[in-house]
Amino acid sequence: MTAWDPTRAAGLEQMQAFAPRMGRAYSANRNTDFGPGRNISVSALSPWIRRRLVTEDEAVRAAIEAHGARGADKFIQEVLWRTYWKGWLEMRPEVWTRFEIERAQHDPMAEAVRAAEEGRTGIEGFDDWARELVETGWLHNHARMWFASIWIFTLGLPWSLGADFFLRHLLDADPASNTLSWRWVAGLQTAGKTYLATAENISRFTEGRFRPKGLATEARALQEIPVPAAGPLPPARRETPDGPYLLLITPEDLTPGDTIGPWEIRGVVSALEPGAERLGEHPQAFLAGAMADAEQRAGVRYGHPAQRLAGLTGEALVEAATAAGARGIVTPYVPVGPTASELTRAGPVITAAGLDLVMVRRPWDDGLWPLASRGFFPFRERSESALRTLGLPV
Q: Name the residues that contact ligand FAD, by CB under 6 A.
A: 30, 42-46, 49-50, 78-79, 81-82, 85, 141, 144-145, 148, 166, 170, 172-174, 177-178, 181-182, 185
Q: Shortest Cβ distance from residue 151 to ligand FAD (Å)? A: 9
Q: Shortest Cβ distance from residue 302 to ligand FAD (Å)? A: 28
**Cβ nearer to ligand FAD, comparing 62 with 326:** 62
Q: Shortest Cβ distance from residue 123 to ligand FAD (Å)? A: 17
What is the distance between the alpha carbons of residues 285 and 262, in angstroms, rounded to a whole number? 31
Q: Shortest Cβ distance from residue 54 to ligand FAD (Å)? A: 9
**Cβ nearer to ligand FAD, comparing 137 with 256:** 137
Q: Count Cβ neighbours within 10 Å for each residue of 151-187 and write b for 16 or more, e otherwise.
A: bbbbbebbbbbbbbbbbbbbbbbbbbbbbbbbbbbbb
Instruction: Confirm whether residue 116 is marked as ligand binding.
Output: no
Instruction: Confirm whether residue 75 is marked as ligand binding.
Output: yes
Residue 307, helix vs strand vs coil:
strand
**Helical ranges in 191-255 per DSSP H:** 199-205
Q: Shortest Cβ distance from residue 345 to ligand FAD (Å)? A: 24
* Residues 373/343, Cβ–Cβ less than 8 Å: no
Q: Shortest Cβ distance from residue 172 to ligand FAD (Å)? A: 4
Q: Shortest Cβ distance from residue 312 to ligand FAD (Å)? A: 21
Instruction: Confirm whether residue 59 is marked as ligand binding.
Output: no
**Helical ranges in 308-362 per DSSP H:** 314-324, 338-352
Known binding-site residues equal: 26, 75, 172-174
Annotated binding site for FAD: 26, 75, 172-174
